[in-house]
Amino acid sequence: MKLTGSQILFRALKEEQVETIFGLPGGAVLDIFDELYRSDVNHILVRHEQGAIHAADGYARASGRVGVCLVTSGPGATNTVTGIANAYMDSIPVVVLTGQVSTMLIGNDAFQEVDITGITRPCTKHNFLVRRVDELGRTIREAFKIARSGRPGPVLIDLPKDMMQSTADVETLSHALTYPEERQEPIEESCARALWLVRKAKKPLLFVGGGVILGKASEELRAFVRKLDLPVISSLMGLGAYPGTDPRWLGMVGMHGTYYANMAISHCDLLIAVGVRFDDRVTSKLDAFAPHAQIVHIDIDPTSIEKMVKTHVGIVSDCRPALQTLNRMLDEDPSMVPGERTRAWLEQVAKWKAKMPLTYHPGERIKPQHVIERLYKLTRGEAIVTTEVGQNQMWAAHYYHFDHPNTFISSGGLGTMGFGLPAAIGAQVACPDRVVVDIAGDGSIQMNIQEMATAVHYGLPVKVIILNNRYLGMVRQWQELFYGRRYSQTDLDHGPNFVKLAEAYGARGFRAEKPEDVDPTLRAALEAQGPVILDFQVEPEEGVYPMVKPGASLTEMDLGNGKVLAGSAVPEKVGAV
């Protein structure tokens, strides 16, 4: 029996248990979409290819599975590049299927031809150009294996039109994988060395990142914390890995980290970093980062260890087996648990937490922090929250408390505006019974606002909360702090009427202008059956605080309202610490 390339493609996708594809058709992929017509794969028709890749990304983050998008050649393929780079930076497993001109035309500047494998080579984990139809099935299998194994990431498969039309005998299809099996190196010795440092530590601190969520290690992490009674901080990508309502939780660390998280990392004597890559927004001034600490670093990617900070014990492993090994060793030898040695440290951390909690000052205008707080209360902390990028992202990270993994979905490493709405669509498709909310700014939401049509088309009840300050808010804040309040090209006063825009798309629209409008507006939106846009007219020049200016140490925090903490990393006197 012979199958066309398009038939082989869908057969391979079925073997990979792909249920949903996000895409947009075009000339080079017409044969694929014709086969899709006869397939039982669920296809979500987006309105822009960037929406397709971001939706596949959001689907992957919410479901823990590989996301898939399908686009045509030329501009269809190039429109996915930002989303591919975004997934690459945040280690998200997606497979991108791009159309290509026929093999005989490649290299001849044919209509809608681009070298998409060459363009995306720096921002994919791997990519393929299919030149033989009998290798297509194996290529699909390899792409999925590469995307989800080791440190996950995006994989692109370029599909020439003639390869989709050509046929191969099903009995001769190659299924043998050439991608080598990744082997877990023995980690018992390095885990034992790490616990020896724990045994001696008086001020231990646990730093968790997105690797814990990607590695499905949240339960093991929580058991580890219970055994050692450690305070916990996280990166932006690590939100949800550990319960945000737990007393041990200190919040996010770094440029916009909490006062107490930044103080804890600056005074600890042991930092156990799990699934993090020490991004510059976390470390700030490198030679002042965790200056008193020995560092244990657990990461699946060996190139991440020692890349940014000096590591005293490196454990090259996925987070789950590493934490399982550490927990087993602690059970076998309880003497490694610090116990009373860390009591003074825990008391100091509690004092920092009580001294400078996250706060803002209510006024006559709506404060964006208040909107997030009320959203958290009204959803009981059970929503899946996606964000755009900028101030809205930081307020969401601070004021919505994430108790579960895969519930905070945001562009971390690349900082991609326009990510939140299509990511919310992907998350809603993955989790149809969950409340999904995109927290947005009036600037970033307009970068992919066309995907409201997608949400309406498929009846996806995503709620878009726009914190409308009529600025490119984070850039404006930097101009306020570092450029003498010269607001160059950040004024968005001539924005659309978002309520009318929602209605034009066929969605519901609500607007709130006063603090007392916040609760009824949120309730109305959450009770609505379909997609909703909420326009909150917030304080225009509200800032995100704390803030560490670039190049400063994490103890030098601007706390807002003229309060600047010019701290040091010299430990305060705390008992016998």
- Phi/psi class of residue 66: alpha, beta or left (left: φ > 0; alpha: ψ in -120 to 50)? beta
**Neighbouring C-beta atoms of residue 401, cutoff 10 Å:** 17
Strand, coil or helix: 560: strand
111 an active-site residue?
Answer: yes
503 an active-site residue?
Answer: no
Angle between helices 319-332 and 218-228 (to 10 degrees): 30
Contacts of 540 (CB under 8 A, 6+ apart): 365, 469, 470, 471
Closest CA to 425 of 166, 154, 62, 13: 62
Dihedrals φ, ψ of 212, to 5°? -65, -40
Dist. CA 230–CA 203, nearest whole Å: 9
**384-387 vs 436-441, strand pairing mode:** parallel
Catalytic option among 111, 182, 347, 482: 111
Dist. CA 176–CA 186, nearest whole Å: 27
17 an active-site residue?
Answer: no
Angle between helices 259-267 and 343-355 (to 10 degrees): 150
- Phi/psi class of residue 561: alpha, beta or left (left: φ > 0; alpha: ψ in -120 to 50)? left
Angle between helices 49-63 and 420-430 (to 10 degrees): 50
Dist. CA 293–CA 308, nearest whole Å: 15
Catalytic option among 16, 35, 49, 451: 49
Residue 505 to residues 110, 453, 533, 567: CA-CA distances in angstroms?
A: 36, 6, 10, 51
Q: Which two tokens stand for residue 134?
A: 């009998």
Strand, coil or helix: 98: strand
Closest CA to 60 of 19, 15, 8: 19
Catalytic option among 356, 474, 547, 557: 474
539 an active-site residue?
Answer: no
324 an active-site residue?
Answer: no
Residue with tokens 């390095």: 190
Residues 346/315, Cβ–Cβ less than 8 Å: no
Q: Which residues are catalytic?
A: 49, 111-112, 161, 474
